[in-house]
Amino acid sequence: MHEMGLMEEALQMVSEDAEKHGLETIDKVSLIVGDLSNVLPDALRFAFDAFCKTGEIPRIGERAQLEIIRERGLARCALCGKEYEPSEYLALCPECDMPFGVIQSGETFKIESYEGS
């Protein structure tokens, strides 16, 4: 489950930034997760909860909350220009059956924001 590693890295970054800004506790972390990012939101939540319980990462406590903001996956057909939501990278255009649409959005995995005190 690579989500554990991703979450650990994200929380470390948040913790380090919070320290620079004089925050003692992280109350909420907001992440943007794209439908095509190969990151599973449920696995991220599991990883987040695990790190909150262990206290392994400074400033992240048991009461911290995780917000996952979904970024829709969108592709544009290189042949007919139709924009569509692919269920996977090799999805066919629903208009002309052309494979390999140009991905417009949905690959993101990033820290959007955090709140602390």
Structural domain range at position 44: 2-72+106-116
Is 52 annotated to bind ligand?
no
Is 89 among the domain residues?
no
Distance CA 104, CA 85 (A): 10
Is 21 annotated to bind ligand?
no
Is 9 among the domain residues?
yes
Is 55 among the domain residues?
yes
pLDDT value of residue 87: 80
> Structure pTM?
0.89
Q: Residues 17-21: what's their mean pLDDT? A: 97
Give the tens place of pLDDT for each residue, 38-60.
999 999 999 999 999 999 999 99
pLDDT value of residue 105: 95
Residue 83 pairs in a beta bridge with 76
Is 68 among the domain residues?
yes
Amino acid residing at 53: K
Q: What is the CATH number of the domain that holds 23?
A: 3.30.2320.50
Give the tens place of pLDDT for each residue, 78-105.
999 999 999 877 789 999 999 888 999 9
Is 79 among the domain residues?
no
Domain count, the chain: 1
Is 77 annotated to bind ligand?
yes
